[in-house]
Amino acid sequence: MRVMKKSNAKKGTIKRILSYIKPYKKQIIGAMLTAILYVVLNLTTPVLIGQAIDKAVGKGNVDFQAMLNIIGLIMLTVIGSAFFQWLMSLFTNTVSYMTVRDMRRDIFAKFNDVPLKYIDGHPHGDLISRVINDIDAVGDGLLQGVTQLFSGVVMIIGTLVFMLSIDFRIAIVVVVISPLSIFVATMITRLSHKMFIEQSKTQGEVSSYVEEIVGNQKMVKTFGYEERSIEGFEEINERLRVCGQKSQFYSSLANPSTRFVNGIVTAAVTIVGSINAINGIISVGQISCFLTYANQYTKPFNEVTGVIPQLQSALAGASRVFEVLDEDNQTPDSANSVEMSRCKGAIDIENVCFSYSPERKLIEDFNLKVKPGQRIAIVGPTGCGKTTLINLLMRFYEINSGKILIDGVDTQNITRNSLRGLYGMVLQESWLYNATIAENIAYGKPDATSAEIREAAKKSYIDGYIRRLPDGYDTIITEDGMNLSQGQRQLMCIARVMLCDPPMLILDEATSSIDTRTEIRVQQAFNAMMKGRTSFIVAHRLSTIKEADIILVMKDGHIIEQGNHEELLAKGGFYNTLYNSQFARSEGA
């Protein structure tokens, strides 16, 4: 993870949060204006009440008419201030929730812009926690912070003005000492900032752990791992408790500390004021009035420091969000790259080198020429780089050097989306999402008619099963794929590709979980579809491999043999051994 200079990072984070607020300038201005009106009215109410009370001087000496007039005025200011306070809340509400929404939008979009490597390499639970919890913290911070900050600042300025108009000397005492409370608050915030970062990081760990353990409960149960998983969880949870407690405690120090500082201010004012009064410089009434305002003046400081914990966890959350946003995007499609919506299917792989990490070379100097319509089977021991090859063809990962050309066009010069559209891909691990079966099948072709969807399902031999479900094609797939078997999931993914009818195909163990009777039929459908189309097939079923035009035998990232079935058998090399082990298998068991 990226390390940034701490203080700079914090400033940067605030700045970036502000840039998120910017589009809601109108609401911010609205919030500020209403805050001013609210504070002004709110400050006049007590004054008016005082005047009303002044009308009741003593027995038989109450001016009811005048009192009534003032009461009318009071009601106006009260209702006015309540109204503006309400408006202010509405504005800040909108600003915070819209900001939250925008941030979520950006971080989610980012997940589709970063290189796949980032997603493969980061615990998903942690990333989810950033989207949900960290951004939620930002929202909370904004909501509390913006409201309190605005009214607080207005209140401070307002009272300052009042005070200056009474006596500037004592005002100076207040103004000089007050920043002390700001200073104390800043010190404390700085202290606890690290803890907050730690807290949201650990929160991410909790999410990751839950995601992993709860997501794979079957394994946990099978191996009686419950106790140990609980131990593991309690360990993370304990760390979360420690840093959570520290961050909460440290940041909650800010409020009592500033109140203490303000207490000192009050004491100082009292002492200085009294001594001045004894010396006859100001009157007692002025002191009392002054104290009221000093009190009024320090209160907003208290309110502002009261929301410091929320502000801090907002900052910590935001910095984790920005960390994701700062990840490098995959290199964008170059300006001169073309959209390729169809192709003949000639593929040239020239001197391609690739490795996931520099220290472990995987594919080196790989060359292959595929004529349009050829069927390429990739065989080899597991881990030899078959799936990697597919990652490169689809440009999920970028090659380190060399070239891959489609119909003579360098794939670097084809937009990624159109390149990927040229292939229909079925992977061993079938991915379905939370939507109806029909929507899942139509994933690559959202405008497909229901007849087309059924046709694709029929070709994939899953139509019968789907129709027997109570809701048929409208059955919603729940997150864990309901009780669909692996095979049924795979068939749906196959239907998805069948529906798209792409010019080229990539099948990575696409039928590994399907029973052979169904597989043969699906295979026939594939064969019909693949006719005249280039296809890459990773498989271990002999029948599939035998029929291929080119068999690539891979080992440790290298193509060690290349040719058709007969040629390779005749060669008596690695393929020959592999092929014969197929029979050894039957004899061995």
Partner 1 sequence: MFKLRRFLKNYKLPLIFGPLCKLIEAIFELIVPLVMADIIDTGIKNQDYAYVWQRGGLMILLGALGLSFALVCQKSASIVSQGFGTQVRNAMFKHINKLSHQELDKIGTPSLITRMTNDINQLQAAVAMLIRLVIRAPFLIIGALIMAMTIDLRLSIIFLIASPILALVLYIVMSRSVPFFKQIQSKLDKLSLITRENLSGNRVIRAFSKQESEKKRFNEKSDDLAKTAITVGRLSALLNPLTTVLINIAIVAIVWFGGGFVDKGELSQGEIIALVNYMTQILLAMIVVANLVVVFTKAFASAHRVNEVFETEPSVVEGTKTESDNKSNNEIEFNDVSFAYGKGKYALENISFKVEKGETIGIIGGTGSGKSTLINLIPRFYDPQKGDVIIDGMSAKEYTFSALRSKIGVAPQQAILFSGTIRSNLLWGNKDATDEDIEWALKVSQSYEFVSKLSDGIEHEVLAGGKNFSGGQKQRLTIARAIISRPEILILDDSASALDFATDAALRKALATETNGMTTIIVSQRVGTVRYSDKILVLDDGKLVGIGKHDELIKNCEVYKEICLSQLSAEEVK
Cross-strand partners of 56: 62
Lookup: tokens for 210: 């839950």
Quote the CA–CA distance of 577 and 583 in Å, as a whole number. Answer: 10
Quick check: helix, strand or coil at residue 541?
coil
Strands 363-370 and 534-538: unpaired
From residue 420, alpha-carbon distances to 22, 322, 460, 501 in Å are 37, 29, 22, 13
CB 559 within 8 A of CB 553: yes
CB of 84 to partner 1, least distance (A): 9
CB nearer partner 1, residue 8 or residue 279? 279
CB of 447 to partner 1, least distance (A): 12
CB nearer partner 1, residue 9 or residue 107? 107
CB nearer partner 1, residue 55 or residue 458? 55
CB of 349 to partner 1, least distance (A): 19
Lookup: tokens for 431: 């991915």
CB of 385 to partner 1, least distance (A): 9
CB of 235 to partner 1, least distance (A): 11
Quick check: helix, strand or coil at residue 225?
coil
Quick check: helix, strand or coil at residue 538?
strand
CB of 535 to partner 1, least distance (A): 15
CB of 125 to partner 1, least distance (A): 7
CB of 205 to partner 1, least distance (A): 11
CB 491 within 8 A of CB 440: no
CB of 465 to partner 1, least distance (A): 6
CB nearer partner 1, residue 19 or residue 112? 112
CB nearer partner 1, residue 267 or residue 570? 267
CB nearer partner 1, residue 126 or residue 171? 126
Lookup: tokens for 345: 């299917």
Name the residue type at position 507: L
Residue with tokens 């608050």: 185
CB nearer partner 1, residue 110 or residue 350? 110
CB nearer partner 1, residue 74 or residue 149? 74
CB nearer partner 1, residue 350 or residue 364? 364
CB of 402 to partner 1, least distance (A): 22
**Angle (CA) 330 336 342, round 5°:** 90
Between the CA atoms of 200, 206, 208 and 212, what dihedral angle is there, to the nearest 10 degrees?
Answer: 180
CB nearer partner 1, residue 315 or residue 578? 578
In terms of Cα–Cα distance, which of 154, 137, 63, 45 is closest to 96? 137
Quote the CA–CA distance of 568 and 577 in Å, as a whole number. Answer: 10
Helices (H) and strands (E) in the chain, counts: 21, 12
CB 406 within 8 A of CB 343: yes
Q: Residue ranges of the alpha helices (H) in 22-167?
A: 25-54, 64-111, 116-121, 124-129, 135-166
CB of 40 to partner 1, least distance (A): 15
CB nearer partner 1, residue 171 or residue 491? 491
Strands 423-426 and 504-508: parallel
From residue 176, alpha-carbon distances to 38, 151, 169, 179 in Å are 27, 22, 11, 6
CB of 37 to partner 1, least distance (A): 13
CB 209 within 8 A of CB 240: no
Buried/exposed 4-15: b ≥16 CB within 10 Å, e otherwise: eeeeebbeebee
Residue 83: is it exposed, middle or buried by C-beta count within 10 angstroms (0-12/13-18/19+)?
Answer: middle
CB nearer partner 1, residue 6 or residue 166? 166
CB nearer partner 1, residue 9 or residue 208? 208
CB of 10 to partner 1, least distance (A): 22
Cross-strand partners of 424: 505
Residue 242: is it exposed, middle or buried by C-beta count within 10 angstroms (0-12/13-18/19+)?
Answer: middle
CB of 346 to partner 1, least distance (A): 21
Quick check: helix, strand or coil at residue 561?
strand
Count of alpha carbons within 13 angstroms of residue 376, beta-carbon side: 27
CB nearer partner 1, residue 19 or residue 61? 61
